[in-house]
Amino acid sequence: MSSHVRWLMLILALSIFCIWVASPPEFKGVQTEACSKATAQQIESLRCSENLEIDANGDGENEFALHITQSLGLDLVGGLRVLLQADIPTQNFTREELAETANNVSRRVNALGLTEATVQVQGRDRILVELPGVRDPEQAIATIQQTALLEFVDFGGLSNQVLDLIGREIVTSEQIALRGELSGEEGEEDPLAGRLAHPVNGLPFRTVMTGAGLQAASAVLAPAQGTGNPQWLINFEIKEDFQSVFGSFTGERIGQPMAIVLDGEVLSAPTIQAQLSTGGVISGQFTEQEANTLALQLRSGALPIPLRIESTQEVGATLGQESVRLSVQAGVVGVLVVLAFMLIYYRLPGLAADLALIVFIFLNIAVFKLLPVTLTLPAITGFLISIGTAVDGNILIFERIKEELRAGLALEDALKAGFDRAWTSIRDSNLSTIIICGILFMFGQTPGASIVAGFAVTLAIGLVLNLFTAVIVTRTFLYILVGVFRNSVDRNRALLGV
């Protein structure tokens, strides 16, 4: 019994934590201004965070803040739909290049913190992007559309003219090469016209390496130097195939400037201090948002095909507030009916199952918010199905216990045999369904099928948690209840549903 008491303490502590995580922000006492003002039809409401702030010192300053976000899908709360059009003639790119562009857009969308986003190719030259939960539509569109052509450009011999070139647009050998590859119809305006060439020889600046040579990029806040302010920088790592070329160039140009150029604009031109074979730092007086956006674009790679915005549309929830409310009510009624059935039919074990099912529900909701999982209508359906599997596990256990009691086993032996012999059935059935969820999730990575992945994720989470609640939690509650009502159970086995 002492081991069951210890398990009970652990389960109660876990349940309290899950209830706290799952509770709406108004029950936590602190609600963000954005969330308090938002409605289901407002885009800003899509990414509201529930904040709990703990003042550790009692002086009004928050030393610790936990931000818990529940993401909602486009079908529940709306979002942004963007149609992107290739900005060059269709004969100048292949279907594979368009698919690769869509993949890069998808990586950028995911890195923006948007989940359940849909990115799919439409026709020969279009990409449709659906973004549930956008906080800043303009920033999202700019990040997706930006080609992010990063160049490391030789500025050797320009030590006295470097400052005049920072912030200016220049023409480089890489831009000339790309212009030749992507050039469309004759007579169209040259986007390189008006950019500065090398002031000494009049030729394009030489590109040493592009962003294709980067292995990784991340924004970091550098400490203040002297009396200056902290600055946002971008650390980058170079791919192994490019280390020789870049290392040789920087080794030969120590003491000379090298420009960091993004889409033709000179961001900075630091002096090379040492040979850079594996990586370095990009500086340029960035704000935090600019540094994070640039690092995101560099990690995601330049878009193989330049894109323009064909159309944008803010969409409301497909289901609407009333439909969502009715769906939630239907789920609550279904759970209450299941709880009542288990209590009436199985009596004391049914009470243990009901308590375990309540713990199961709060565990799931807490996990959804902590991961976070984007809740769409299919995802909610997967969660409700997992509740049914949790009840199935308990029914297997209780029917096994009843069989052992009818066979004449003592109560303790019957309880032990019921859980031990039902475990293999519960384990195998859940694992087989989890495998199916894995297959559904893989197919859900196909553009346009993300709702399938959402269903698979919530169902799989419920099945995994059920392995814990159907055995450990139910066992703990049942042994505790049997211990408390032992005299009544010995006199009346009907309390065990026999």
In terms of Cβ atoms closer than 10 Å to its own Cβ (0-12, 13-18, 19+), residue 265 is: middle
pLDDT tens, per residue, the chain with 498 residues: 578 899 999 999 999 999 988 876 544 443 333 333 333 333 333 333 333 232 333 343 333 334 455 667 666 767 788 888 888 888 878 888 788 788 778 766 765 555 557 788 888 889 988 887 676 777 677 767 665 677 899 998 887 788 889 889 999 998 888 766 544 444 455 667 778 998 888 889 999 998 878 888 888 988 877 667 888 888 888 888 899 999 999 999 998 999 888 778 887 788 888 888 888 887 767 788 878 877 776 666 667 777 888 888 776 666 656 666 777 788 889 899 999 999 999 999 999 999 999 999 999 999 988 887 877 778 888 998 998 888 988 999 999 999 999 888 888 899 999 999 999 999 999 999 999 999 988 887 665 566 788 889 999 999 999 999 988 999 999 999 998 988 888 888 888 877
What is the CA 335 to chain-centroid distance, rounded? Answer: 29
DSSP class of 493: G
Tokens (6 digits) for 141:
């569109």
User: How many Cα atoms are found within 13 Å in the side-chain-facing hemisphere of 59?
Assistant: 3
The pair of structure tokens assigned to 104 is: 């890069």
Look at the block and give the residue holding tokens 């008491």.
Answer: 5
- What angle do the packed helices 137-145 and 288-300 form, to 10 degrees? 40
Distance, in Å, from the CA atom of 479 to the CA atom of 414, rounded to the nearest integer, reads: 12
Question: CA-CA distance, 387 to 330, in Å (whole number)?
Answer: 14
Give, as one character, the DSSP assignment of residue 25. Answer: G
Give the C-alpha separation, 46 to 44, whole Å: 5
In the three-class reduction of DSSP (H, G, I as helix; E, B as strand; rest coil), residue 307 is classed as strand
- Please tell me the predicted confidence (pLDDT) of residue 186: 44
Check: CB of residue 250 under 8 Å from CB of residue 272: yes
HSE, side-chain direction, 13 A CA sphere, residue 356: 35
**Is residue 192 within 8 Å of residue 171, measured between CB atoms?**
yes
**pLDDT for position 144:** 72
Task: State the pTM of this model.
Answer: 0.56
Domain 150-182+194-286 fold is Gyrase A; domain 2 (3.30.1360)
Domain limits of the chain? 2-12+320-496, 79-145, 150-182+194-286
Phi-psi label, residue 382: left if phi above 0, alpha if psi -120 to 50, beta otherwise:
alpha
CATH architecture assignment, domain 2-12+320-496: Up-down Bundle (1.20)
The verdict on domain 79-145 having CATH code 3.30.450.40 is no
Q: Show Cβ contacts of residue 342 under 8 Å, excluding neighbours closer than 6 positions.
A: 350, 353, 354, 357, 391, 394
d(CA 11, CA 477): 10
Residue 44's pLDDT is 35
Cα–Cα distance for residue pair 144/122, rounded to 1 Å? 17
- Count of CB atoms situated within 10 Å of the CB of 372: 16
* Contact indicator for 133, 114 with CB cutoff of 8 Å: yes
Phi first, then psi, for residue 284 (nearest 5°) are 175, 30
In one-letter notation, the amino acid at residue 101 is: T
Round to whole Å and give the CA distance between 174 and 167.
Answer: 19
Compute the distance between CA of residue 258 and CA of residue 158 in angstroms, rounded to an integer.
10
